[in-house]
Amino acid sequence: MPEQVIVLGGGIIGLSCAFEAAQRGAHVTVVEPHEFGGQASGAAAGMLAPYTENPEQPDPFFHLCAASLRLYPEWLRHIESISGLNAELMNTGSLTVAMHESDLLPLQTRLAWQQAYGLRAELVEGSSLRLLEPSLSPAVTAALFCPDESHVYAPHLVQALEAACRRMGVKLISHAGAITLPGLNGQYGVQVKTAEAGTFTGDRLVVCAGAWACKYAEAFGFPIPIHPIRGQICAFDVPVRDVRHMVFSSQAYWVGKNNGTLVCGASEDVAGYDTSVTERGIERLVRFGPRLLPLLEGLRPIHSWAGLRPATRDGWPLIGPLPGRPDIILAAGHYRNGILLSPVTAAIVADLLTGRKPDGPIAAFAPDRFAGTAARRGVS
Ligand X SMILES: Cc1cc2nc3c(=O)[nH]c(=O)nc-3n(C[C@H](O)[C@H](O)[C@H](O)COP(=O)(O)OP(=O)(O)OC[C@H]3O[C@@H](n4cnc5c(N)ncnc54)[C@H](O)[C@@H]3O)c2cc1C
Q: Is the peptide bond preceding residue 217 cis, with omega within 30 degrees of 0?
A: no
When asked if residue 192 is in the footprint of ligand X (CB under 6 A), the reply is no
Q: What is the CB neighbour count within 10 angstroms for residue 298? A: 6
> Do 15 and 159 form a contact (C-beta atoms < 8 A)?
no
User: Taking the complex as a whole, how short is the minimal distance between the CB of residue 339 and ligand X, in angstroms?
Assistant: 3
> Do 102 and 254 form a contact (C-beta atoms < 8 A)?
no
One residue of 310, 320, 321, 343 binding ligand X per CB under 6 A: 310
When asked if residue 79 is in the footprint of ligand X (CB under 6 A), the reply is no
Integer Cα distance of 189 and 185 in angstroms: 9
User: Taking the complex as a whole, how short is the minimal distance between the CB of residue 100 and ligand X, in angstroms?
Assistant: 25
Integer Cα distance of 264 and 279 in angstroms: 15
Stretch that binds ligand X, among 32-40, 218-226, 288-296, 371-379 (CB under 6 A): 32-40
One residue of 5, 12, 30, 226 binding ligand X per CB under 6 A: 12
Could you tell me which residues are beta bridge partners of residue 192? 200
When asked if residue 18 is in the footprint of ligand X (CB under 6 A), the reply is no
When asked if residue 320 is in the footprint of ligand X (CB under 6 A), the reply is no
Could you tell me which residues are beta bridge partners of residue 191? 201
Q: For ligand X, give the closer residue by CB, 142 or 213.
A: 213
When asked if residue 50 is in the footprint of ligand X (CB under 6 A), the reply is no
Per-residue x/- marks for ligand X, 193-222, CB under 6 A?
---------------xxxxx--x-------
Stretch that binds ligand X, among 3-11, 80-88, 282-290, 359-367 (CB under 6 A): 3-11
Q: For ligand X, give the closer residue by CB, 93 or 129.
A: 93
When asked if residue 301 is in the footprint of ligand X (CB under 6 A), the reply is no
Q: For ligand X, give the closer residue by CB, 140 or 233.
A: 233
When asked if residue 343 is in the footprint of ligand X (CB under 6 A), the reply is no
Integer Cα distance of 362 and 139 in angstroms: 43
Task: Tell me which amino acid residue 352 is.
Answer: L
Q: 47 to each of 1, 44, 199, 266, how far by Cα in Å?
A: 32, 8, 37, 12
Q: For ligand X, give the closer residue by CB, 129 or 163.
A: 163
Q: What does the radius of gyration of the chain's CA atoms come to, in whole angstroms?
A: 21
One residue of 89, 233, 235, 352 binding ligand X per CB under 6 A: 233
Q: What is the CB neighbour count within 10 angstroms for residue 147? A: 14
Integer Cα distance of 60 and 320 in angstroms: 15
Q: What is the CB neighbour count within 10 angstroms for residue 247? A: 26
Q: Is the dihedral of CA 277, 153, 38, 203 positive or negative?
A: negative
One residue of 5, 26, 30, 32 binding ligand X per CB under 6 A: 32
Q: Which of residues 104-143 bind ligand X (CB under 6 A)?
A: none
Q: Which residues bind ligand X (CB under 6 A)?
A: 8-14, 32-34, 38-41, 43-47, 179, 208-212, 215, 231, 233, 265-266, 307, 309-310, 332, 334-340
